[in-house]
Structure 1
Amino acid sequence: MNEVISTGHSIETARHRTAWIEAGPQQGPLMIFLHGWPAIGLVWRQQIEHFAARGWRCVAPDMRGYGGSSRPDFTAAYAIPEFVADMVELHDALGGTPALWVGHDWGSPVAWSMASHHADRCAGVINLCVPYVARGFALPTMLPLIDRDLYAEERYPVGQWDYWLFYREHFTRAAKDFEADTAATLALLYQRRPKRAPDVPAFTAGIRAQNGWFGAARRAPATPRENVLLGQDDFDTLVAAFTETGFAGANAWYMNDVANLAYAARAPNFGRIALPSMFIHASNDAVCDTTTSRLAEPMREDCERLTEVTIDGGHNIMLEQPLDVCRAIDEWMRAEWLGA
């Protein structure tokens, strides 16, 4: 039986408003799900329902710049130390007992940072697709990990992360192109991907060369509804959220390498994480390719109690293979003696 997800929760401090959804017993142990780009907390629906039914108090905030949370209008507000401060405020509002932090995409560096900077607030940390980089999740730390057999430096100087630079060079235009047809943009980004060929670069490696995500069209092409990973109601909610907020706040997460590197350098114990840690690889993730590239190597050096699991699917693995993700987390919890 599915747990009922309640909406309309929020906390507002002098610095920020965080909105969230939740399910599960109020007195249950905390499990906090952090979404990535571009999303809202609702993308975790299937994991929330699964773990709430097992006694966890499951909370999924809209991260800064998204959904019902506040959206500052300057890019410096979208640095990892700001996101972590948001989560500390949320955690305090939820009672402050050690939580399991679960992240995906850009939510992962925030969850990893909770573990590295605020270990006392964590029972453990679980991340999907974006591995831990103790030196900081930023372009300078990613470049040495690029697969140069696939991304020749003379043609792909920043490899699959080319879109990162496009946002910096054309910040306003990038958001406007996504907003030209919000529903089509989100359908494209949340579609089920075909099996990737190992010798074909990720689409994101050529964003600047083709003058944006959609080239001369300046708007997303249509995606068949049957290819979209979200159910109709949740997809409609996602579209409504981005119709209201636009994409500027979401894209601003890519604008703060200097601040993010400096913050990582301040972590205790050189950023080493001693907590129980789990990482879920998605075998068909072309951008965050952790199965055939060196992207996950630093994580193995800096997480002392790391468990790795590979699931067959694409970047939005929690939507594409929700049962496999839940099952893998269940097994890890049992092995680590973590449970409701």
Structure 2
Amino acid sequence: MTAITEHHVVYAGDKKINYLAAGPVNGPLILFIHGWPGTAITWKAQIDAFAALGFRAIAPDMPGYGKSTARRVVEDYSQEALVEGMMALLAGTGHHVGIWVGHDWGAGVTSSVARQHPEAVKALINLCVPYHTIELGWDGFLPLVNREIYPADEYEFGQWDYMRNWEENFEKTIQWCDQDPAGLCKAFLQRTSQPSNRFAPLGLVRKNGWLGGIPKPPAVDATGPPILPADVFDSFAADMQRTGFWPGTAYYLNHERNAEYNGKAPSGGRLKQPVLFVHALWDTVCDTKTSRLVEPMREFCSNLTEVTVEAGHWVQFEKPGYVNAALFRFIVDELPSEWPGFWDSGYTKKKLVL
């Protein structure tokens, strides 16, 4: 198994991004950007797989998480500030361009990087959250809610009600989360089954509270095994215990700043690079199957590939083999020159007509 090493970059004075790396330093660069909540180690299945093939695989603790700077400053978690950190991370790897893979808020960040610095993006791969949505603030995704499931007069914010709850009740909700960060993370990371309907319980958070309004998160021993390997989960849980939920959740408090920043993207935000989007079939929050959430991506990406995996929101944890295979095929099909060894392997092909 390829060794995973730990590194960091310092930028903007005294901010730090901690990251994990594996694979040959000069191999094609692929960066894995986690969402809420998460840390670098949660990408271990992808780091191992890609490094073993000869990629240089990088996964940061995003600002607000793990060993990266986690100040209680809301502006630190705007897309503009996060992109600044990602550009520092890229420079720290010794590369100037890479394949960017993002999940959840990580997909918002990779989308922002692609919008603002297309020269740094060889290809964009987003899981669950499409390009041209969350990085644009409320207007990027709220109008795309399926109003047959969430009538506007009853569910103004649709399945995104929990996001509005962060804006209205941030400190109170953080206090609830921080009663047991490890227990809450384990409750989130349970295996998903096919939903009986497409209504997301997170559409009722302001009415009922988190997890139906229980007084505190479930204890670690109150839920089943997590979908992450035990050692990976334990490391992730320790990371969340260290920072608490405040810094990483402040990503949700910057919608207006994000809209202003990404509204000024070069080329109007249209992408020419290859883009892969992974649908999680059973994801009822980032619902890309019955809502219009994917429509802007299809309009703004000229070279788009889509694949669907039967899993919930944590698709790369539930079905790592399927997700990795989708990424491998996409790179081989769309970016063969980025496949390790392409340029020096002497690989040739001949067809003999009989």
State if a TM-score over 0.5 links the two structures: yes
Match for 1:184: what amino acid?
G
C-alpha displacement of 1:134: 6.2
Q: Tell me which residue corresponds to 1:284.
A: 282
Partners of 2:316 and 2:222 in 1: how far apart? 20
Q: Which residue of 2 aligns with 1:243?
A: 241
1:285 counterpart letter in structure 2: D
CA RMSD of aligned residues (A): 1.6
Kindly provide the amino acid, as one letter, of the partner of residue 318 in structure 1. Answer: Q
Q: 1:321 to 1:211 in 2, by over 3 A?
A: closer
Residues 49-88 of structure 1: pairs in structure 2 closer than 5 A: 49-88=48-87
Percent identity between the two aligned chains:
36
Question: Which range moves more in the overlay, 116-125 or 309-318?
Answer: 116-125
The offset of 1:171, in angstroms, is 1.0
Moved more, 75-84 or 226-235: 226-235
TM-score (normalizing by structure 2)? 0.92
Give the 3 Å change call, closer, same or farther, for CA 44–251 of structure 1 in structure 2.
Answer: same
Give the number of the structure whose alpha-carbon radius of gyration is greater: 2
Task: Tell me the SS of whatever aligns to 2:332.
Answer: helix
SS in 1 for 2:303: strand
Distance change (3 Å), C-alpha of 1:302 and 1:150: same
Change in Cα spacing, 1:221 to 1:154, as seen in structure 2 (3 Å) is farther
Corresponding residue of 2:154 = 155
| 1:12 CA drift (Å) | 1.4
Match of 1:302 among 295, 300, 303: 300
Question: How far did residue 213 of structure 1 move?
Answer: 4.2
- 1:187 to partner: Cα distance: 0.6
Counterpart residue type for residue 306 of structure 1: L
- 1:319–1:135: structure 2 CA closer, same or farther, 3 Å change rule? closer
Structure 1 residue 136: deviation in Å?
A: 3.8
Count of residues paired in the alignment? 337
- Look up the match of 1:339: 339
3-state SS of paired residue (2:302): strand
Q: Secondary structure at the match of 1:53?
A: helix
- Which letter maps to 2:287? D
In the alignment, which residue of structure 2 is the partner of 1:215?
Answer: 213
Distance verdict in 2 for CA 1:121–1:334, change over 3 Å: same
- Offset of 1:217 from its aligned partner? 1.4
**Match for residue 202 of structure 1?**
200
- Alpha carbons 1:135, 1:261 under 8 Å: kept: no
Contact 2:193-2:311 at 8 Å conserved across structures: no
CA apart distance, 1:226: 4.3
Q: How far apart, in 1, do the equivalents of 2:286 and 2:133 lie? A: 17
Query: After superposition, where does 1:236-275 map in structure 2 within 5 Å?
Result: 236-275=234-273
**CA–CA distance in 2 between the matches of 1:313 and 1:107?**
18
The equivalent of 2:349 in structure 1 is: none
SS in 2 for 1:97: coil
Structure 2 distance, partners of 1:153, 1:163, is 15
More divergent stretch after superposition (117-126 vs 32-41): 117-126
Which segments of 5 or more consecutive residues in structure 2 lack a partner in the other structure?
341-354
Deviations 1:102-132 (A, max 9, x none): 0000000111121121111111111100001
Kindly report which structure 2 residues correspond to 1:25-104, keeping only aligned pairs within 5 A, or say none: 25-104=24-103
Distance 1:320 1:183 in 2: 19
SS at match of 1:22: strand
Give the secondary structure class of the aligned counterpart of 1:71: coil
Deviation of residue 231 (structure 1)?
Answer: 1.3
Q: Give the Cα separation in 2 of the matches to 1:214 and 1:63.
A: 29
**Matched letter for residue 190 of structure 2:** Q
Deviations 1:44-91 (A, max 9, x none): 111111110111000000001000000122212210011100000111
CA contact (8 A) 1:30 1:97 kept: no
